[in-house]
Amino acid sequence: MVAFEPVTALIGGSLIGLSATLLLLFNGQIAGISGIVNGAIEFKADRNWRWLFIAGLLIGGWLYERAIASQPTPTDEFSPWPMIIGGLLVGVGTRLGNGCTSGHGVCGLGRLSVRSLVAVLTFLTTGFITVFVTRHVLLLG
Amino acid sequence: MEKNGKKNGIALFSGIIFGLGLGLSQMIDRQRVLGFLDLAGTWDPTLLFVLLSAVTVTAIAFRFVFSRLRPIFAEKFYVPTRQDIDSRLVAGAAIFGIGWGVSGYCPGPGISALAIGSWNPVLFLMAMATGMIVFNRFNKQ
C-alpha cells in the first residue's frame, strides 16, 4: 500500500470536477457515469458521445498508467465473487437510484441537489457498513 | 453533423480528463477505495480529498455554467429536475453502496482501471452491465 498523497488526490479530484464542467458547459450533459454507460448500452439514438466518453475514461487511465505514474498501480489478486456480486449490485442500484459517485456525488452535490445529497449519504453509509462486515465480521480480508 | 462532431470531441476529451483524474487520485486502485470505506481499519482519506476537491470545482464552476441560457454546442441543459426523495432513490443508493463496498469499484474507476491490466475490473464491468440490463427489462413491465 502506497502512502496517502494529498496533493495528487486534490489535483486528480480537481481534474474530475473540470471534466464534469466541460461536459456541462459545452454539451449540456451531466457527467454521471452509470447513466452514460446505461445509455451507451440501451439507447438506440444519441449513443456515440456516450461511447466516446467511456473510451476517454479508458484512454485517460491508460495515459496515467503509461506516462504519469511513478510506479504501476498495484493489481491485487483476482477476486471473481466480489466482482460479480459487487458489479451486479452496482448495476441494479445505480439504475434504481439514478446515479453513482459521479452523477450524485461530483455533479449532484455541485448542483446543490438535495436528492443527490441523500443518495451520497446513503451509499457512503452502506459502503462503510459493507466493508466493516466483510473485513471485520466475516474476516474476508 | 458538424455540431455532433464537436459534441463528440468534447465527450472524448472530457472522458480523458476524467480518466486522468481517476488515475492521478488513485481511485483506479480498488484497495484505496476500500481503505477509505474501512473506518475500523487503517483509514485512507484519499477518496474524501478527491470528492471534496471535485465538488469544490463543480460547485463554483456550475454556477457560471448555469448563468448561461444554453450550453455552447447543445440546445439545452440535460439536467435532472426531480427534487422529491422517494424510496427508489434511497433503496437504489443503498444497493449501490453495498456493491461498491463489496467490489471496491464504482462505474468510473471500474472503466479507467481496465488500463492497469487486471481481470477484476473486466469482470466487474460485465456484471455491472448485466445488472443494468436485467433491471431495465424488469422496469419496463
Asked if residue A57 belongs to a domain, the reply is yes
In sequence order, the β-bridge partners of residue B78 are: A29
Instruction: Find out whether B109 and B22 touch, Cβ atoms under 8 Å.
Output: yes
Cα distances (angstroms) measured from residue A67 to each of A5, A64, B21:
18, 6, 13
Domain that holds residue A60: 6-137
**According to DSSP H, which parts of chain A are helical?**
6-27, 33-42, 48-63, 80-96, 109-110, 114-132
Q: What is the mean pLDDT of each run of 10 residues along chain B (141 residues)?
A: 86 98 97 97 96 98 96 95 94 98 98 96 98 93 54
Label residues B99-135 b or e (16+ Cβ within 10 Å = b).
bbbbbbbbbbbbbbbbbbebebbebbbebbbebbeeb
Instruction: Find out whether B122 and A78 touch, Cβ atoms under 8 Å.
Output: no
**Cα B54 to the center of its chain, rounded Å:** 12
Chain A residues with CB inside 8 Å of B70's CB? 28
Q: What is the mean pLDDT of each run of 10 residues along chain A (141 residues)?
A: 84 98 98 97 90 98 94 91 98 97 97 97 98 94 69
Rounded to an integer, what distance in angstroms lies between the CA atom of residue A68 and that of residue B96?
31
**Annotated domain spans of chain B:** 2-140
Which 32-61 residues of chain B touch chain A by CB within 8 A?
A: 34-35, 37-42, 44-46, 49-59, 61
pLDDT on residue A1: 52
pLDDT on residue B3: 77
Which cell is A50 given? 456516450
How far is B140 from chain A, CA to nearest CA, in Å?
12
B3 touches chain A (CB under 8 A): no
What one-letter code names the amino acid at B122? V
Q: Is A58 exposed, middle or buried (0-12, 13-18, 19+ CB in 10 A)?
A: middle
Chain A residues with CB inside 8 Å of B104's CB? 82, 86
pLDDT on residue A45: 84
Cα distances (angstroms) measured from residue A122 to each of A16, A108, A116, B57, B94:
22, 14, 10, 23, 6
pLDDT on residue B16: 98
pLDDT on residue A43: 85
Asked if residue A1 belongs to a domain, the reply is no
Chain B residues with CB inside 8 Å of A52's CB? 8, 11-12, 15
Give chain A's domain count: 1
Nearest CA to B26 out of A39, A7, A139 is that of: A7
Max intra-chain CA distance, chain B: 54
pLDDT on residue A44: 79
Rounded to an integer, what distance in angstroms lies between the CA atom of residue B90 and that of residue A63?
36
The reported pTM is 0.96
Instruction: Find out whether B54 and A11 touch, Cβ atoms under 8 Å.
Output: no
Asked if residue A117 belongs to a domain, the reply is yes
Instruction: Find out whether B47 and A8 touch, Cβ atoms under 8 Å.
Output: no
